[in-house]
């Protein structure tokens, strides 16, 4: 696997959606290529960062109340 | 024999029990889509009511969460389509290039300290702005995949598009978002500046192969225009990038509205 391929599929490697062969090739490449290893690390960290920062806002209590009320009114 | 009322009441209660666990997820995504809490609440409300209307049509084993998101996405389009959302042409090759530039400049600092979190000090406002800078389609897939944890297949179902398109948009959306975050980080000084160092260290001189690759990479970095986005992940590649989906359940083709 060349650097160009690695760049293209890095996200999918991190998603765990590459097939076994490509996954192995990818890992092998990272062991040989500090550049690609660095990039993949950065992808991974940014993803973790975003997950944390854009993490679930809780729905406001009033929304939950509204919903419950409407659904129950519907049912009656 | 249950009265009609009792049945309806029970059904309503069942729905509530089944659907309420997702309200936080839905609200979070609605908020990211509409960018204000009032509209987000209205959107979630409308979504639930619509879903409730169709509840008796749902079959056992329906992916309820994906269905709710699908309804919400359709409701959003119906209500907000008039407002703007005109897709603007993205020259993705420009984005790839600026990504390369910013990564070359900042990667050494970013990876230097493995213990520190990236962008630790970045303000929520800036993160939000970065996300909002994405075209709507890209933003949606990033939210659904990276925040809500849906699979490509589920996202394809929610957005009613091919899996190849989902993957293409994920690639572009994630890259755009990273690029923007890195640019903010650099501009506003979030990245702790170490000593300036190039991406390729002097040790790499021995790896002649890598040096030769550099100009080739640049030439190949030309990505197709947005309207050819599916070409990025052609049929062949889709087959290669096999999505492991062990629980291959029969998903009903549900159409809402």
B229 pLDDT band (50/70/90 cuts)?
very low
Instruction: Quick: pLDDT tens for B116-136.
Output: 577 778 888 899 999 999 999
To probe the interface with A, which of B210, B221, B223 has the most A CB atoms within 10 Å?
B210
pLDDT for B49 equals 92
pLDDT for B130 equals 95
Q: Is the pLDDT of residue B10 over 60?
A: no
- Please state which of the ranges A31-40, B17-26, B195-204 shows the lowest mean pLDDT: B195-204
- Comparing CA positions, the residue from B186, B119, B139 lying closest to residue B30 is B139
Nearest Cβ partner for B12 among A54, A58, A75: A75
Torsion of CA B153, B159, B162, B165, to 10 degrees: -100
The reply to whether residue B41 touches residue A63, judged by beta carbons under 8 angstroms, is yes
Write the CA distances from A22 to A2, A9, A18, B235, integer angstroms.
11, 9, 6, 17
B178 touches chain A (CB under 8 A): yes
Q: Are A47 and B173 in contact (CB under 8 A)?
A: no
- Please state which of the ranges B7-16, B68-77, B114-123 shows the lowest mean pLDDT: B7-16
In this predicted complex, what is the ipTM?
Answer: 0.92
Whether the predicted model's global pTM rises above the 0.80 cut:
no
Q: Is the pLDDT of residue B96 over 70?
A: yes
The reply to whether residue A19 touches residue B24, judged by beta carbons under 8 angstroms, is no
Take residue B154 and report the two structure tokens written for it: 């589920």
Mean pLDDT in consecutive groups of 10 residues from the start of chain A, 76 residues:
93 96 96 91 90 86 92 74
- Comparing CA positions, the residue from A8, A41, A13 lying closest to residue A26 is A13
B243 touches chain A (CB under 8 A): yes
B194 touches chain A (CB under 8 A): no
């Amino acid at each position: 696997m060349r650097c160009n391929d690695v760049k293209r599929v890095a996200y999918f490697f991190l998603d765990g959606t590459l097939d076994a062969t490509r996954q192995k090739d990818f890992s092998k490449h990272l062991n040989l290529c500090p550049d690609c290893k660095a990039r993949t690390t950065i992808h991974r960290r940014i993803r973790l960062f975003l997950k944390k920062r854009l993490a679930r806002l809780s729905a406001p209590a009033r929304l939950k109340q509204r919903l419950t009320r409407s659904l129950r009114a519907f049912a009656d | 024999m249950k009265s009609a009322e009792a049945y309806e009441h029970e059904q309503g209660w069942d729905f509530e029990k089944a659907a309420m666990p997702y309200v936080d997820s839905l609200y979070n995504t609605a908020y990211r889509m509409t960018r204000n809490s009032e509209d987000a609440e209205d959107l979630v409300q409308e979504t639930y009511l619509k879903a409730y209307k169709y509840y008796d049509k749902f079959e056992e084993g329906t992916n309820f969460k994906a269905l709710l998101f699908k309804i919400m996405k359709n409701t959003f389009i119906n209500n907000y389509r008039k407002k703007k959302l005109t897709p603007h042409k993205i020259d993705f090759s420009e984005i790839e290039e600026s990504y390369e530039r910013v990564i070359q400049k900042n990667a050494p600092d970013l990876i230097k300290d493995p213990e520190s979190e990236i962008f630790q000090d970045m303000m929520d406002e800036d993160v939000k702005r970065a996300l909002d800078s994405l075209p709507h389609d890209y933003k949606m897939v990033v939210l659904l995949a990276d925040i809500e944890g849906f699979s490509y297949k589920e996202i394809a179902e929610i957005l009613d598009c091919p899996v190849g398109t989902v993957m293409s948009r994920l690639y572009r959306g994630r890259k755009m978002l990273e690029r923007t975050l890195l640019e903010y980080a650099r501009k506003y000084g979030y990245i702790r500046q170490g000593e300036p160092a190039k991406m390729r260290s002097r040790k790499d001189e021995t790896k002649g192969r890598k040096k030769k690759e550099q100009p080739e990479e640049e030439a190949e970095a030309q990505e197709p225009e947005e309207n050819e986005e599916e070409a990025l992940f052609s049929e062949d590649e889709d087959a290669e990038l096999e999505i492991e989906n062990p629980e291959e359940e029969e998903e009903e083709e549900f159409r809402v509205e």
